[in-house]
Structure 1
Amino acid sequence: VGVVATTQVGGGRSVVVATMLEMLAMYVQNRLCRTSPVQVEVGGEVIDVQMDDMRALLAAVEMEKAHSRVVVMGLDCEWAKHTQTVDLIQICVCESVVTLCKRSGMKEEVRRGLTLLMADKSIVKVGAGVKGDAVRLSALIGSPIYSCFDLADANMEVEKEETREGEKRGRRKKGDERLSLAKLCEKYTGKRLDKPEHIRRGNWAVEVLNEDQVKYGAADALISFRVGVKLIAKMSRKSRSDLRARDLDNLLFDVYEQKKEGNKKKERRERGGASGSGGGGRQKRSYMEVIAARKTPLYENCRMESPDGVLLCTCSAKRCEWYLKKGIATLTSTSPTTIRLLHRPSGYPSKSESYYRTVKANACVVCGSEEECLKKYIVPHCYRKHFPSLLKERRSHDVLLFCKCCHHAASKEEEKLRSAIAECAGIPLLRPIPKRGIDLAKKKAKEAAKTLLKCKTGEARLPTVRQEELHSRLTSYLISQDMPAPPPLHCASLKGVLEEVTQLNAVVVNTDYTSHEEEVVKAIVEGRLEVKDIAAAANTGLSLLSSWEKEEERAGSSVPFLSLQHFEQLWRAHFLTSLRPQHLPVGWKVEHTKGEA
């Protein structure tokens, strides 16, 4: 329709008519083709959120351009900290249009639309810390991003101006700090922006976002838009109606151009070293590269039954093969693989204990992702290996599956609790006595032997005086160890002695060393460290305190290592409160004990 209008309408009005007709055509096409919006509640308001609907977004931008030379776009991105790759782009160009674009499965139409919007200098991209978002988004779409407007920087400029005016009136000076989006929202809109930690650090790379993630992403884009409009108007000393009639260059003096130019240090690192060198230096691998995902599923969900047909547990195919090979079970089904024991088991699982009998999904227990999963001990192995053998028997209850993203988050939370334990117990993580040391005399003798051996084999050439110095050092060490002195330099038999000395191990294991974890477990068993004190210091697992006290009063000393069982429960409670897993297997619980297993 737009092409026909351009050819038929003459004069200067042809372009205007064509543009309006194109907008009309786009609007009609959008109404016919767009996906249904998702309605979410943000700050007490119900708004429509479009998922990957670039047509609706472009149409809204054109409508804004028709009324104003300044189009404000709220922009925010979400990504996993250890990958630094954008997983979700949140955009808001008016009160009624919020669009979320996912990286996974991104269509070419969406990518082209993002490229056009980000390269349009008449669209001001506003957000708190938008510079960081722009760098990552630029790398994703392969295009520069222009006219970015950092709300935190703009707020600081406004505060500086207000401070100067306030000083003239004798008012107190304001603090000079960068505010987060939540604080900017409270300051400029008077509303509170909830940003739950477990959602912020969640898995944004999932195929389908849950309702909380959609609400979180939409709120960030919408609030960025609203705060941006207020800040730009405040800096211009005009209302938004006047803003439309003003020139962008004169009004937004701090709008900057964000190009896809990497950090110089990063570029040099990618080239493999310092500037001008083409050598391939060793690069520090990221967390995601260091940890390896499982190549086979953790749960094969084979079934093991008692002779009377009662399901005892689910297990691996390898375990079933072992029972069959030993001739102590028979195969009763292949779909799923089911074996029946030929002997009566020592015990049957109780009705309340369903964890070991349930079918478990090979997916992350936190976010549900099935990609690149690996197992993790909820009670860290570094503590558990010092437990008594009764508590170290093989159990799968505290071994769960995590995707790489959630595994990284769980490791960080684990370190927080370890630090709290160290502070509460007065047992530092870094011990004053090292686990291993170096025997300097042996090390120097070994180095001297290596150098002399190279001279013997012709790999190196040294002055005779220097060789005699090294030979003297070697002789002194061997004599101090009640060993025979080496032959003179010119003797052929010296080579054999040198080869023996080069095989010496200069590393010495310190017999007085005890690890932080060993000391903590020992202190808990001996009663010098109370688990409830750790819970109070770490502010985690507090809901368990009353039940622990009742157990201690009821059981007394009849239950072995009750304090260590409470220590296990503390780690499980910390895992639940810090990561808020949404996909735990049926029957998994904090109060799980060895007796139930």
Structure 2
Amino acid sequence: MNMSKLKISVTSAVALGCAGITYVVLQRIKPKNAEDALNYLSIEIIASEEACSQAIIKLRRKCSGHHAIGFDCEWVTEQGKRQPIALLQLSTYDGYCVLFRLNLIKSIPKTLQDLLEDESIYKVGVAPKDDARYLTQDYGVYMKGTLDIRHLARLCGYEDGGLATQSKSLLGIVLDKTWRIRCSDWAAEELSDRQVKYAAADAHVAIKIFVKLINDYHKGGIFPWFWSGHGNGCWKDLIVCKRYVDVPYKSKRNDKNSDKSHRIKEKEAKNGKEIKELDQKRYPHATRSKPLYHNCFLEAPDGELLCTCDNQKAMWYVEKELADVVSKEPLKVRLRFEPAGRYVGDVGRYYQLTKENKCVVCGGQDSYIRKNVVPREYRKYFPEIMKEHSSHDVVLLCASCHQLSNMLDRTLRERLAELCDAPLSSHGHSRLTEDAVCKKIRSAARALLYQSRKHVLPEARRKELEAVILQHYLQHETVTEELLKEAAEIQVVFENEDYESHGHKVMEYFMKNEGVLRLEELWREHFLKSMQPQYMPELWSLKHNEERLTVRLKEGRLSDEDQRLLGLSV
């Protein structure tokens, strides 16, 4: 055999070998249908309250290592109207899936409710916040710890499609999403084998995608402690997850400014274990271009420091000849009159300390927005005595943290709405209501006015629209252009006579029961817990107002009525 033939033989062998390897690789990454890919699932169907407890114990044990569980719900839609949730699916990473048939149980057992309301366990899926809202509407369960995996997909640079899209692209698993199974009777007396596998797959694929995205984000493979059960505290405190807990997902397709408004910043701590990401969003009318804190010093006539304030306020006293400038760098102004009172203790020292112009959560200094820790919709109803020195509850946040904090505030608002019987406007209790009949009349009139000029309305449709108008204007026998113009401007939106402000009702509840100081403290606790700020001002306190007003009470400067509203006693 000559050398040329030998070279051809070797080349052919190499080519065949490469082709074989390529074939094997392609076979491995070739998408598989869910039934084959998930044949290891252990599925348990719960149709009674008695059987629920053991399943919950098992679910909690199996998800204890990573504090996350796949979640989904199914329901029946009749004539375009959603019926109560019939099936609730939960799955652990190792393939244990539990299907709770809520339509047969008729309620959510206490053990299941406790799991759903346990904020330390993430319930992951696509649009889990929506399903959580339906659970509240249908069964009165206030679910916590939802996490939409699309947040993480976007963070990792993947497309933010639905569950089937992500399952195929990230896991190579093709879910059965034909309309016959999606729209099947989930409230049937017996679920078919196909329904059971479909429901279990949806919940399990969600937790599988979640784990993959977390590992991709950290680019370090699977953490040893993640699966061994060690370091549970690290997992629960993982910032990348906490940023998106109970935050609804907004698709890029619906966000015209997404390319400009969402940017990812990562900040690594010195130990290399903590990573923060900030979804930047522009607030063109709210972001401050100037510092909030000028840290000018305001002194009493004897030279005692009263507080720090901004330059404009300090110079106002000077311009009114109520104070003198003691020094310019830093600006120090001394009053010519004795103030009404002087601060004592840590409450007083808080106002004397200089404040930093940076985000109290992440420390960002490039932009900041004022955040009212206690939202104005409640504070505006506070007794006048509590509105003094409200600067304690105004902190600075960067645009990203401000956006996230406002989203997370929804959780406490919903809790207060339930506790105080104070529905939120988005739950159908709005100050303004829209009259459906008037809206139909207006639409008909405008259609006739516009379409008649174009000569495109079919005769049957024109008569139908005219009939709508004449049913309202009974004194008219025919539709004239003047009548159309009048109907086209008919009032559609009216004041809701039964409307009561959510904030006002919440305030009434606390004034009659626990006292307004407790409401203020709830919002402060919520801010600290939900945002976990790392740079709060020194001496910032949950009980700041209580401590300040207790001093007044001891000095006899609080009326009995004030004490009652505040919930304050010596």
- Which category describes the TM-score, using the shorter chain as reference length? 0.3 to 0.5
Tell me the TM-score normalised to structure 2 length.
0.46
* Bigger CA radius of gyration: 1
